[in-house]
């Protein structure tokens, strides 16, 4: 089971102390994310269990990462390491997701597709995918 939490860029602190996206009116959490999509296209983390996961692209390479909260509003980025028997399948899923949203030549953060999220959920539960601490 998973949910999407979308990033919002135009966030201000309201008079009553809430963080609100000025572009769409969504209330966001301390990490500037909300289950509601912004009117501007943004990437999302996919929360599997309690682990916020997305794809990071840099140097023409897609990597599955988790954002581990460390304090009030900061996160530690941790790579998810696959077992050898699923590594090629994971690479193919990530490459497909990235190509469907932009391309491996465009560095940034990308959202997991439903298919990838379901496989990641399964692999986390069976221990085939682990946080590389």
83 and 24 housed in the same domain = no
53 and 98 housed in the same domain = yes
Q: In this predicted model, what pLDDT tens digit does every residue of 29-75 receive, in sequence order?
A: 988 999 999 999 899 999 999 899 999 999 999 999 999 988 777 88
Domain interval for residue 25: 1-42
15 and 51 housed in the same domain = no
> So what's the pLDDT on residue 1?
74
37 and 52 housed in the same domain = no
63 and 127 housed in the same domain = yes
93 and 114 housed in the same domain = yes
33 and 49 housed in the same domain = no
Average pLDDT, the chain: 94
55 and 37 housed in the same domain = no
The residue behind tokens 């221990």 is: 127
Closest Cα to residue 6, out of 31, 37, 29? 37
Question: Could you tell me which residues are beta bridge partners of residue 48?
Answer: 2, 51
Q: How many independent structural domains does the chain possess?
A: 2
Q: In this predicted model, what pLDDT tens digit does every residue of 35-47 receive, in sequence order?
A: 999 999 899 999 9
65 and 82 housed in the same domain = yes
Which string of b and e fits 9-48 if b means at least 16 CB within 10 Å?
Answer: eebeeeeeeebbbeebebebeebbbbebebeeebbbbbbb
Vertex 104 angle, CA 53 and 79, to 5°: 30
């Amino acid at each position: 089971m998973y949910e999407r939490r979308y990033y919002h860029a135009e966030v201000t602190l309201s008079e009553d102390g809430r963080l609100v996206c000025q572009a769409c009116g969504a209330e966001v959490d301390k990490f500037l994310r909300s289950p509601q999509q912004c009117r501007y296209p943004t990437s999302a983390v996919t929360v599997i269990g309690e682990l916020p996961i997305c794809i990071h692209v840099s140097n023409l390479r897609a990597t599955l990462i988790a954002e581990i909260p460390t304090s009030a509003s900061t996160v530690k980025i941790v790579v998810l390491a696959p077992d050898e028997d699923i590594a090629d399948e994971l690479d193919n899923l990530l490459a497909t997701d990235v190509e469907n949203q932009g391309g491996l030549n465009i560095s940034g953060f990308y959202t997991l597709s439903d298919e990838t999220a379901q496989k990641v959920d399964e692999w986390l539960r069976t221990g085939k995918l682990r946080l590389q601490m």
